[in-house]
Amino acid sequence: NRLDPDRGPIDSFLQEVADYSLVVIDEAHNLRNSGAQRSGAVDRVITAGGSKRVVLLTATPVNNSLTDLETLVKYFIRDDARFAALGIPSIREYIKQAQAMDPANLTPEHLFDLMDQVAVRRTRKFVKEHYANELIRGADGKLTTLKFPQPKVRRIDYDLDDDGLALIDAMVYALDDPTDPHTPRAWEERSRDPQRLMLARYLSSMYTLDHDLQEYQITNAGLLRSGLLKRLESSPQALHASLQNMIASHESFLEALGQGVVLKGEALSEWVSSDSDDLDAFVAEFDNDEKIESVDGYHLTELQGDVESDIALLCELRDLAQVVIEGVEPKVKQLIEELTTIAAAAQRVDPRGLSHADRRKVIVFSAFTDTIIPIYDAVVEAIEAAPAGSPLAEYRARIAPPIMGSYAKTHERGATGGVDQGGRASTIAGFAPATAGPRNAKGEPAAKDEFDILFTTDVLSEGVNLQQAGQMINYDLPWNPMRIVQRHGRVDRIGSKHDYVHLGLFFPAERLDALLDLEARLEAKLALADAAVGAGNVLPGRGPGHEVNLTDDQVVDEFEKLLDAGGSSASLSGEEYRRRLSSAFNMDPLLKADILSLPYGSGSGFVNPVVNGNGYVFCIKIGKSPKPWFRYVPVDDDWSLRHNDDGHPLISSDTLLSLRVADPQNASADRWLPDEVYDHAFDAWEVARDSVYNVWQELTDPNA
């Protein structure tokens, strides 16, 4: 608030910080929009007075696009050519080149050289390996051994009743399309089926006389289809609310058509994701936009007819959702059974002396406010009705008010959450006073332990320490595994007293394949549209393809591996390699002396178990420059050079790729360097040498 001109003396504050030499910004990803008022205010602080060092703290430097990364880097590196001597003439162009790549082919290798200069990234795996048994000072001020709890994942399958199955079947059919939906013929065929959603209200450019299809409308429609699919799986209440919003939007659109104008709306904001409340907020505000056109440029009869057909189908689908809402929902029953099981297990004596209350604490996550509120109500009702002495009754009067994001203000219901920051902090402290609450002068928790169950959306998926709890339930199908990793990080943290932290993942016992297949088809069709009209990243918040195969029987094992790795198996900095080298030198000073005295041209060989194919890695020194230059030259089975279609030898300048290929994975790996491999190394060296020389010439001589 000190940076808000309406709330504080910003001029005096800027004078105060002018003498500061260090600025630390927590949750820095919130500054990724350089045009936002908040970002401008922070920039004024950084530039006030003399030069300052800037430290950004964030677990997610890239949220929507690589432009986020460029924006964050600019807060502490103003010179675009800062790393020219390291092979990056322009930071902007370096990021732009990576941004232009097919997301399916973009890997950490393409950003390594920049990230290694600007980021300190020590993953969970890194900390476990290199800081084992280290002592750190905890929140209570006492020294404690550094360790992580072990993640344990369980799959929670729930059945669907006949009404639920009917709703899923109708929705999947309405959203699906076996043809390319953006050609006139396919569009005409689709419009003949009243059970298929046209989304004509959001794809009005399909009906222009010149058929000038607007890219942003394809994106909007794709997000809406994906969003409806995810709400369908989450809860009938979430789906019902979205359908009702869309019906109102369609009716406004139809009314405008009757007045001779077409409401065009605008593109979804870049931060909108199809699996969050943001999409509902967009739909609710869509008709407030003033962009309109005359109906004279449109095939009015066809547009009007398809909108009317969509309204009828949306109403039908909404009514099906209402039928499910009025019944006994199997998914909610399964959630209550899970809570009962957790409470029963917590009643048993813990050999480490962990309290019953801490072991029954559980966080229930859903992406949607319209899911959180009804399941909160249902669980409260079930707990109140539980017989005295039953495990579920242990939770009586111990359920925290649910916590939602900013969109929840449209759903405000007093004690059910909202956007009151003070109330939110109080609720969090009441749930986890030992790790998330304030402390008194003695370092003891000052807040009272009030709650054992916390319902929340992703507003609490970052920035809070809830490791007093050891249980988390993900109520929605895990469409985006990285989001689950982020949520799980609230309890899977250093300082947890739990040996194991448990993650429950809800899966429908039936129709899972239908849901996943439809999502895959939506992405594939939008990718085709992107190739044709340049629609960009059409499904924000979701990368190309699943990071965990949700249809695989080994899904639990895959998620445990993902969580144990901290959400990434790839290092985005050289920390891992530098630490391993440093540790080896410290353990054996003679080894360090031997390596530093190696003559130029030294080399060896081994079989790398994680690399397919043959190749050579070169670490090259240029004159007195301290920078090592890496090149990887892949070769054929007979160790001869491989060539591209133009006849040029294949070579990679990606530093991280070279480091991975040159990593034997095991300190005791056998040396393997037959004469044939040695002889061909000189051919590969010529390719690597020429590559580095050419780049060096370009960097040192702009006219080269």
Q: What percent of the chain has pLDDT over 90?
A: 41
Task: Identify whether the C-beta of residue 199 lies closer than 8 Å to the C-beta of residue 247.
Answer: no
The CB density around residue 301, as the number of other CB atoms within 10 Å, is 9
Where does the pLDDT of residue 270 fall: very low under 50, low under 70, confident under 90, or very high at 90 and above? very low
**Ranges 97-101, 528-532, 607-611, 614-618, most confident:** 614-618
In this structure, of 3-7, 294-298, 645-649, the range with the lowest mean pLDDT score is 3-7
The helix (H) or strand (E) run that includes residue 69 is: helix 67-74
Q: What is the pLDDT of residues 232-250, one digit of tens each?
A: 999 999 999 999 989 988 9
Quote the pLDDT of residue 542.
Answer: 37
Q: What is the mean pLDDT of the chain?
A: 82
Q: What is the pTM of this model?
A: 0.75
| Distance, CA of 524 to CA of 177 (rounded, Å) | 12
Quote the pLDDT of residue 473.
Answer: 96
Instruction: Please name the fold of domain 148-158+329-508+545-564.
Output: Rossmann fold (3.40.50)
Q: Is a pLDDT exceeding 80 seen at residue 54?
A: yes
The helix (H) or strand (E) run that includes residue 530 is: helix 512-533
Task: Identify whether the C-beta of residue 248 lies closer than 8 Å to the C-beta of residue 315.
Answer: no
| Distance, CA of 129 to CA of 106 (rounded, Å) | 28
| Distance, CA of 213 to CA of 206 (rounded, Å) | 6
| Distance, CA of 407 to CA of 279 (rounded, Å) | 10
**Ranges 215-219, 411-415, 572-576, 658-662, most confident:** 658-662
Q: What is the pLDDT of residues 109-138, one digit of tens each?
A: 678 888 888 888 777 778 888 888 889 887
Q: Is a pLDDT exceeding 70 seen at residue 295?
A: yes
| Distance, CA of 683 to CA of 548 (rounded, Å) | 41
Q: Is a pLDDT exceeding 70 seen at residue 9?
A: no
The CB density around residue 596, as the number of other CB atoms within 10 Å, is 8
| Distance, CA of 69 to CA of 67 (rounded, Å) | 5
List the alpha helices (DSSP H) in 110-264: 112-118, 124-130, 162-175, 184-191, 215-234, 236-258
Task: Identify whether the C-beta of residue 506 lies closer than 8 Å to the C-beta of residue 158.
Answer: yes
Between 68 and 291, name the one with better pLDDT: 68
Q: What is the pLDDT of residues 591-644, one digit of tens each?
A: 999 999 999 999 999 999 888 899 999 999 998 888 899 999 999 999 999 999
The count of C-alpha atoms lying within 13 angstroms of the C-alpha of 271, restricted to the half-sphere facing its C-beta, is 10
| Distance, CA of 700 to CA of 346 (rounded, Å) | 67
Quote the longest CA-to-CA distance of the chain: 86
Quote the pLDDT of residue 274.
Answer: 52
| Distance, CA of 699 to CA of 702 (rounded, Å) | 7
Where does the pLDDT of residue 364 fall: very low under 50, low under 70, confident under 90, or very high at 90 and above? very high
Q: How far is CA 351 from CA 139, 344, 356, 612, in A?
A: 24, 16, 12, 47
Q: What share of the chain is helix, strand, coil (3-state, %, to 5)?
A: 50, 10, 40
Task: Identify whether the C-beta of residue 651 lies closer than 8 Å to the C-beta of residue 691.
Answer: yes
Q: Is a pLDDT exceeding 80 seen at residue 690?
A: yes
Q: Which two tokens stand for residue 206?
A: 């399909």
Between 311 and 4, name the one with better pLDDT: 311
Quote the pLDDT of residue 21.
Answer: 92
Q: How far is CA 116 from CA 112, 388, 601, 626, in A?
A: 6, 58, 26, 15
Sheet strands (E) in 516-651: 614-620, 629-635
| Distance, CA of 414 to CA of 54 (rounded, Å) | 40
Residue whose entry in the numeric block shows the structure tokens 């990243």: 537
Q: Is a pLDDT exceeding 70 seen at residue 288?
A: no
Torsion of CA 383, 389, 390, 391, to 10 degrees: 90
| Distance, CA of 406 to CA of 412 (rounded, Å) | 10
Task: Identify whether the C-beta of residue 310 lies closer than 8 Å to the C-beta of residue 247.
Answer: no
Q: Which two tokens stand for residue 321?
A: 């959702």
Helix axes 555-564, 481-488, angle to 10 degrees: 60
Q: Is a pLDDT exceeding 70 seen at residue 417?
A: no
Task: Identify whether the C-beta of residue 449 lies closer than 8 Å to the C-beta of residue 357.
Answer: yes
Between 170 and 525, name the one with better pLDDT: 170
Q: What are phi and psi of 556, to 5 degrees?
A: -65, -45
Q: Of 473, 535, 478, which is closest to residue 507 (Cα–Cα)?
A: 478
User: Interior CA angle at 124 toward 123 and 126, to 5°?
Assistant: 65
Q: How far is CA 93 from CA 88, 345, 531, in A?
A: 9, 56, 22
Between 307 and 148, name the one with better pLDDT: 307
Q: Of 446, 384, 380, 445, which is closest to residue 415 (Cα–Cα)?
A: 380
Task: Identify whether the C-beta of residue 140 lies closer than 8 Å to the C-beta of residue 444.
Answer: yes
| Distance, CA of 581 to CA of 600 (rounded, Å) | 19
In this structure, of 380-384, 447-451, 477-481, 571-575, the range with the lowest mean pLDDT score is 571-575
| Distance, CA of 301 to CA of 195 (rounded, Å) | 20
| Distance, CA of 506 to CA of 158 (rounded, Å) | 7
Quote the pLDDT of residue 567.
Answer: 52
Counting every residue written for the chain, the total comes to 704
Task: Classify the C-alpha dihedral 60-64-68-69 as positive or negative.
Answer: positive
In this structure, of 281-290, 454-463, 533-542, 672-681, the range with the lowest mean pLDDT score is 533-542
**Ranges 196-205, 227-236, 630-639, most confident:** 630-639
Q: Of 443, 518, 508, 503, which is closest to residue 470 (Cα–Cα)?
A: 503
Q: Is a pLDDT exceeding 80 seen at residue 266?
A: no
Torsion of CA 554, 560, 564, 565, to 10 degrees: 40
Give CATH 3.40.50.300 domain extents, the chain: 148-158+329-508+545-564
Q: Is a pLDDT exceeding 70 seen at residue 89?
A: yes
Q: Is a pLDDT exceeding 80 seen at residue 356?
A: yes
Counting DSSP H helices and E strands in the chain, the numbers are 24, 13
Task: Identify whether the C-beta of residue 399 lies closer than 8 Å to the C-beta of residue 376.
Answer: yes
The DSSP secondary structure of 282-308, one letter per residue, reads HHHHGGG---EEEGGGB-HHHHHHHHH
Between 237 and 492, name the one with better pLDDT: 237
